[in-house]
Amino acid sequence: MQFKLGEFVRFVDENIEGYITRIIDKDTVGVTDSNDFEIPVLASKVTLVHDEIPESDIVSNRPAVVIPEAQFIKDGVYLGLITDQHSTSVAHFHLVNESSFQLLASLTTEKGDHYKGEFAAIIPAHSTKKIYSAQLGDIQIWPKFKLEILFHTPANVEPKAPIVYHERIKGKDLSVAKEDIALLKQKGWLIRLDAAEALIDAEKLKESFFKAR
């Protein structure tokens, strides 16, 4: 069974429980117990505790609510990065959708010449979805994100141009102070994905040109 960072597991042969805080290799994981001690263990020697389901992984089958055009929020799509509530050494990446659009998102990671499809799903309006997890201390070797997002709505609103985010997150991106992420109910780092392009005032540009001369 392939485990993910942040999952709650129990040892098969010992009375030990904890959270997966490191993927060491394809056969071995690191489990941090209640004493904050990380234990390397074969993945075959632990089992997932199924009643510990992260809230962000619960799928809702409720139909999308059509929002009146006057109340429609067109902007506010972010990549939110927070630390795990049980282990600050684990970072979780979330798509944070503050807009009224539904988002169709796909994430592929690139490391060297290797590509891996990590996530593909619909993110409803005003919601979040976890798309990736990594060891915070390994930021220097995090893969490049190839993230693409489409906008959709049943409302009478023109959809926005797709977002294409092909970037490698670096330490400087996390050098700013954490901020409150309301939809995640936690402090973290936010990277704006749908930032509007600066509008150029042609008259002011012309005036500044002549002044410079």
Closest CA to 134 of 190, 79, 90: 90
Encoded tokens for 188? 């973290």
Beta bridge partners of 135: 90
Which pLDDT tens digit goes with each residue over 103-155? 999 999 999 889 999 999 999 999 999 999 999 889 999 999 999 999 999 99
Split the chain (213 residues) into runs of 10 and give each run's mean pLDDT.
Answer: 81 86 85 83 86 46 55 94 88 95 96 92 95 91 95 92 94 89 94 71 56 53
Closest CA to 80 of 147, 23, 1: 147
pLDDT score, position 205: 52
Dihedral over alpha carbons 186, 163, 58, 180 (to 10 degrees): 10
Encoded tokens for 48? 């997932």
Encoded tokens for 195? 């930032």
| HSE value, Cβ hemisphere, 13 Å, CA-based, for 64 | 17
pLDDT score, position 56: 44
Distance between CA 157 and CA 55 in Å, rounded?
A: 31
The residues, ordered by sequence, that sit 6+ positions from 61 with a Cβ below 8 Å of its Cβ are: none
Question: For residues 96 and 77, is the Cβ–Cβ distance under 8 A?
Answer: yes
Distance between CA 198 and CA 64 in Å, rounded?
A: 32
The residues, ordered by sequence, that sit 6+ positions from 34 with a Cβ below 8 Å of its Cβ are: 17, 18
